[in-house]
Structure 1
């Protein structure tokens, strides 16, 4: 099962995103058992001064600015939290008394390797969870108890691990070592011998130059991003058929550093992130069950037909920020990817829509390319497309064929911002809900080009060249479901007439509006937000009746006009006079 956090990032259109170190920390289990919600705070007898002891076996002394380890702790405690203090060392005589300790939380202190002697943990034969992140350790302890399940030593200065730091611990499940200074020399070959159950291993943000060998065979999540890895030794991943998530982004990987069989044994792999490396080709031998493949920010210039054909379970393919051209994308490159529904090709060098797009793709990101025309057949086979982003290309209205969108009967969102359009595209499908056209050169609107868009909810036309004379009568009559209309940063001299009754948000800031008549919002009784910032309004030219019947009105922004304009708003059954800019 793919981790929810990874999917969540992608579904929010953050393709370059990967779990940060702080997110990795958030995924760790709670370090000290907490009482049920609503339980009143109480301390059991014998609790150390200023600490909290909700139960006899739990002591929480976190955030007390402690410089010394607390003395006289009960021998029976099982959970001890000392996080967010200023401890520099752990006294062995005090720790040795705590034979029943299961959880020891020392996050965010000043503990050094000299202050953590190897014999510190010898007596803790019940210890299962130890948290030492954000300290000043340079060497890991040479010995940790064999009973451990989770060890967190992230954000230290570690350069060296030892055979019994993590080795010979059959119950060990999770190891967090990100944000240290570990090199391959400091990570011995036998570092995890006898710890075959480790399923989460976080080694990101270290100094590794190649993928470590002899890692635990049961690992499911392997984080190696933000290192200096330039190669994966042959056979290094051959035992890891359980691996589901492999993060290798932000390294120095080249195709020469990958063997054709590097990934071929990873039968359970679902998430593979190779972004921000130096790959010039799609790696060969990719396993068939990968769901998310991230190859953004590499040096890919072509997509041959055979490299992706094995990955038949692929749903998300992220190829942004490469050097791909339309001629470099083979017509059969996506032919067998029948599950692929999200394809990111933005910030490449595409001069036209690439051929052979996946038939079932639902989200297609083509922004920031060099696309200059859209033909009648470019999207003819992508019948399932729901989201299409063509913003910041080189499109002119005359170069978008009137039949370009005829097959897209499920299309809900189209973004054509930042192009060179002077007119709305013709033939937009009736399924459309959001249309983004800001930052173009549109100077006219007509009912013909908005015909049948009865489901359109948002129309964004900011930063164009619209004047009242360029908006034909009846332009809005088909837009029966429109909720948001953005006409800001245009050249309008007054509020356009006959706006849709369904409208709730109207943005008119930075125009040339000098007059608000009593009929300005006559057709929009449901309006909630009106933005009139930075126009040419004078108080004498604003009719007192313009807003009188707008019972749902919540916000009117009139700041930045030559005079202060105060608009009464209906609130709690009475009229109030808000400050300008409310």
Structure 2
């Protein structure tokens, strides 16, 4: 369209022009066939008084040209763009949804090509989940008000995305190009961008102005590409100092990218083989996962500089121990899915702000955890130790722990003082261990006055143990070998709301007679092999809200 207008202006000179029925070119020296396939139209002066102004002439000429070209089927090689349907004015494309506010939704309608003649007032354009392979710059250039462009999950290649594609989008804020087939990033993106998503492509190269010189840019998503260190410019974020989120997981980086923005607080580098020392003192949240034991020195050298780091993820590596010198201000520490066998005396004690410690799916045994490993961690309230090799309760548990998950281990006994110092414990999960009723000391839970939920499911219990905390609200004993509920085991548990006893060996005479009367707050009962409603239980039926899993016979 721009080419047509330029040549029209060259042809008309100072007079008014209209197409002539005779053949010929629009202007001397212009050898391209007029109308791209129609007979050449000669533009002759129009000597009519009160001729229309230049803008109107241009529209009239374009309209006549379009009508004259209606029969054209072929386009000469090298012509930029595509032929629009003759006489069709801009409007809502077929099968798309459009609003008066400028929102055009063409997502998931099996488009093979970028739609023509979109409304020029479009400000939000959704083209995701189609099969578009190519973008035509002149079509995008018309959308001067466009703020959001969603092209994710198409078939766009770098060849089909010309360098000048986004040149005229001076209001573009959000660009989504994830899940395409791009191999190199665009050399230029508008400096108005706030967020750019290029995840799940085949990118190998980023240019200096792809993300540089964009003061409003806040988030960049580049994960699941093929980026290497050589494909990143040193000045990748030059002039983009306000970037806060950078996601670059699952690439081929060996070093932390250079000259990162000072405002950055979340950096994801999962599954990258990083070897450089950390010099990211300003980062607040870091996913740094592919840090294998051979690179432990890199952690020790630079990690302590990360004074503002609060979130550190070292999961899914091959760590056999926790690295020394972790940042002191970490709040959440992911260490799951490693091969950790020991926790040393001083490796965690300097992290005074630690609140969440995730150590599940490792190879920890109780003797591998130093009794002072958690000493001084007054803010640590959640500890996950499930799926390890613990044969007993570790010594020196955090004093202020509220949630302790030690299910799926090999614990066979609970001694009198195993929980003697965990006064604040509210949730304790000991399910799927090797516990037997005689090996649970009847005073093991005496200090747990704030305990609300206790799970002993999936063990080898044959009777309900004594000594449960009186403030329990949820007690899970399912999938054991329980055949007896001895007298007094449920006494005083007036706050118990839920009791799980399914998949055991209980019969009606297995439960002492006053058991249900003592559970005045009970709202849900799950049991099995009950042949009749026992005395006392019937009196509670107006309180019970869940008897669906209670197979009366």
Question: For the superposition of Structure 1 and Structure 2, which TM-score range results when normalised by the shorter chain?
Answer: 0.7 to 0.9
- SS at the partner of 1:222? strand
Q: Map Cα deviations across residues 412-451 of structure 1 (whole Å, 9 max, x no partner).
A: 1111112111222211111001111112221111231111
- The 3 A distance-change label for structure 1 pair 341 and 73 is same
Query: How big is the shift at 1:316?
Result: 0.7
User: Is 129-138 or 100-109 further displaced after alignment?
Assistant: 100-109
Match of 1:12 in 2: none
Counterpart for residue 93 of structure 1: 138
Q: Does 1:49 align with 2:93?
A: yes
| Secondary structure of 2:149 counterpart | strand
Aligned pair partner of 1:66 in 111, 119, 122: 111
**1:436/1:460 contact within 8 Å kept:** yes
Question: How far does the alpha carbon of each residue in 1:239-286 deviate from its partner, in whole angstroms, 9 at most, with x for none?
Answer: 442x22211346646553533143222222221111111112212222
Q: In structure 2, do the counterparts of structure 1 residues 428 and 532 end up closer, same or farther at CA, with 3 Å as the change threshold?
A: closer
Is contact 2:254–2:275 with CA below 8 Å preserved after alignment? no
Q: 1:450 to 1:274 in 2, by over 3 A?
A: same
Alpha-carbon distance, 1:150 to partner? 1.1
TM-score norm. by structure 1 comes to: 0.75
The question of whether the paired residues in 2 share the 8 Å contact of 1:282 and 1:303 is answered with yes
Structure 1: distance between partners of 2:428 and 2:550: 31
Q: How many angstroms does 1:476 deviate by?
A: 2.1
Q: 1:423 to 1:154 in 2, by over 3 A?
A: same
In the alignment, structure 1 residue 421 sits paired with structure 2 residue 461: yes
Q: Mind listing any 5+ residue stretches in structure 2 that lack a counterpart?
A: 1-88
Whole-angstrom CA distance in 1 between matches of 2:192 and 2:545: 64
Maintained 8 Å contact 2:93/2:116 = no
> Does the 8 Å contact 1:501/1:526 carry over to 2?
no
Alignment correspondent of 1:162: 207
Deviation at 1:148, TM superposition (A): 1.8
- The match for 1:146 among 191, 207, 214 is 191
Does residue 204 of the first structure (1) align with residue 246 of the second (2)?
no
Other-structure match for 2:452: 412
Given that 1:249 and 1:277 are in contact with CA atoms closer than 8 Å, whether structure 2 keeps it comes out as yes
Corresponding residue to 1:498 among 536, 539, 548: 536
2:333 paired with 1:288 = no
Residues in 1 aligned to 2:547 and 2:103: alpha-carbon distance in whole angstroms? 53
Preserved CA contact (<8 Å) 1:433 1:455: yes
Give the distance between the partners of 1:214 and 1:364, measured in 2 at CA. Answer: 41
Distance 1:166 1:287 in 2: 30
User: How do 1:14-413 residues align onto structure 2 when only pairs under 5 Å count?
Assistant: 46-50=90-94, 51-55=96-100, 57-225=102-270, 227-229=271-273, 231-234=274-277, 236=278, 238-241=279-282, 243-249=283-289, 252=292, 254=294, 256=296, 258-413=298-453
The Cα of 1:98 is off from its aligned counterpart by 3.4
Q: 1:460 to 1:254 in 2, by over 3 A?
A: farther
Structure 1 counterpart of 2:504, from 459, 464, 478: 464
CA distance in 1, matches of 2:462, 2:546: 30
- Helix, strand or coil for the counterpart of 2:312? strand
- Distance change in 2, residues 1:126/1:253 (3 Å): farther
* Cα deviation 1:363-414 (Å, max 9, x = unaligned): 1111111212111111111111011111111212111111111111011111
Aligned residues of 1:279 and 1:299 also touching (Cα < 8 A) = yes
Cα offset for 1:65? 2.9
Asked if structure 1 preserves the Cα contact closer than 8 Å seen for 2:296 and 2:323, the reply is no
- Distance in 2 (CA, whole Å) between partners of 1:394 and 1:457 is 26
Matched ranges for 1:520-539 at <5 A: 529-531=547-549
Change (3 A) 1:357 1:198: same
TM-score (norm 2): 0.78
Q: CA deviation at 1:531?
A: 4.2
- Aligned to 2:99, the other structure's residue is in SS state strand
Higher helix share: 2
Larger radius of gyration: 2
Shift of 1:492: 4.2
**Distance in 2 (alpha carbons) for counterparts of 1:270 and 1:233:** 20
The DSSP-based 3-state class of the residue aligned with 2:246 is strand
